[in-house]
Amino acid sequence: MTESEHVTVATRELEAFVKNVLQCSGLTEEDARISAEVLLYADRRCIESHGVARLERYVTELKTGGILPRAEMQIVHETPVSLVIDGGGGMGQPIAYRTMQRCIEKARTTMICLASIRNSNHYGIAGYYTLMALSAEMIGISMTNSAPLVVPTNARDAIIGTNPISLGVPAGQQQPFLLDMATSTVPRGKLEVKARHHQSMPDSWATDEEGLPSTDAERVLDNLKNRRGGGLLPLGGGTEETGGHKGFGLGVAVEILCGVLSSGAVATEVYGRQQQPSGVAHFLGAINPAAFVGLEEIRQNMDRFLGMLKASPKATGQTRIFVAGEKEYDCQDCTRVKLPLERKVFETLNRVGEPFGLRLAEL
């Protein structure tokens, strides 16, 4: 079996399969539907690392108490323009989905709503929730903390999460701007690819057990697994000379907006206890364009600006300048009815479905 071997499945069937597995794992039908939709959306946008490939992990956590399938979300604090939500240790996707929905509703009349959410779990791709705001013709914000995988500048151990930042802004003729970026240089998945191919990695990706930049992906992954120190580097790499302290600062900012403003878990507190909810925290927001110059002007300004960027002369050897989100929009257009899955992922899905008598067919 080669790494690149793929099978093709029907998108609709895959979505139903994922939903059924999650429902059999204890989620309500509605929560299972939302979770499946968020996971499928990642695959549709070619962000396979955050799509159905994660189903096994969710099912395991639903079984072992990492995710509480029937948790109740609570509004801890509310003002006309803000929310503090306690997710009760439930599934991340429905918690974030319902919070964003409420932010959008509130922003229709109050112009802005920002929400800080504690006691949630992994919520899939950050960009899904900004896309919800874009669908409502609003500006969207989405951030989350995560398991501690990133080493602060000058530190030895992984202390903060990969902490993605997502911002979505509507455009007119152009595709909307959709930033969705981890604040580490790369996600762990990129190290796994290097390790599988026994290739060395750039020294701005990760550090070894002494906290020094390393090019040995297998060693770093092994250290992380056995908590021997080291981990992923913040955007900018391992030194202040290359701006690593800036990526670290952004990662800390995300921890604050998610975990501090909600009195939730931060840094090593996230996934800090075995077989208990992870405490992952999020920050979501919707901004009504009417708070500023209004939707139509914003659309026109975006088209002019994004057009300028894309028409600008290319570096030698390059043919295209990509604006955040563009690659994923390109991908999304061509994969509506069928989806390619790595054979390994396909087989794992069927293994996960088997106890529930659920089976996914190859096309």
- According to CB under 8 A, which residues from 92 to 121 bind a second copy? 110-112, 114, 116
- Is residue 120 within 8 Å of 31, Cβ to Cβ? no
Question: Residue 341 pairs with which residues in a beta bridge?
Answer: 7
DSSP per residue, 273-300: STTS---EEEEEEEE-GGGTT-HHHHHH
By CB under 8 A, which span of 25-33, 64-72, 208-216, 339-347 interacts with a second copy? 208-216
Within 227-246, the residues that bind a second copy by CB under 8 A are: 229, 235-237, 241-243, 245-246
Query: Does 79 participate in binding a second copy (rule CB under 8 A)?
Result: yes
CA-wise closest residue to 236 among 253, 222, 220, 248: 248
C-alpha dihedral, 10 to 16 to 21 to 22, nearest 10°: 130
Q: Is 255 in the site for a second copy (CB under 8 A)?
A: yes
Cα dist. 309→125, 140, 181, 320 in Å? 26, 22, 19, 10
By CB under 8 A, name the one of 84, 95, 125, 143 that touches a second copy: 84
The residue within the footprint of a second copy, chosen from 266, 339, 341, 352 (CB under 8 A), is 266
Q: Is 202 in the site for a second copy (CB under 8 A)?
A: yes
Q: Which range binds a second copy by CB under 8 A, 20-28, 35-43, 201-209, 348-356?
A: 201-209
Q: Is residue 4 a contact residue for a second copy (CB under 8 A)?
A: no
Residue 69: CB minimum distance to a second copy, A: 27
206 binds a second copy (CB under 8 A): no
Minimum distance from residue 350 beta carbon to a second copy (Å)? 34
Span 273-302, contacts to a second copy by CB under 8 A: 287, 290-293, 297-298, 301-302
Residue 2 or 316: the one with the smaller Cβ distance to a second copy is: 316
- The CB-of-283 to a second copy minimum distance in angstroms stands at 10
CB 314 within 8 A of CB 321: yes
Q: Binding to a second copy by residue 211, rule CB under 8 A?
A: yes
Distance CA 146, CA 282 (A): 9
> Taking Cα atoms as reference points, which of 124, 21, 57 lies closest to residue 359?
21
Question: Comparing C-alpha atoms, which of 42, 45, 40, 43 is closest to residue 328?
Answer: 45
- Of the ranges 64-72, 74-82, 127-135, 217-225, which one interacts with a second copy (CB under 8 A)? 74-82
Crossing angle of helices 11-24 and 343-353, rounded to 10°: 40
Q: Does 77 bind a second copy (CB under 8 A)?
A: yes
Which region among 12-20, 95-103, 307-315, 329-337 touches a second copy (by CB under 8 A)? 307-315
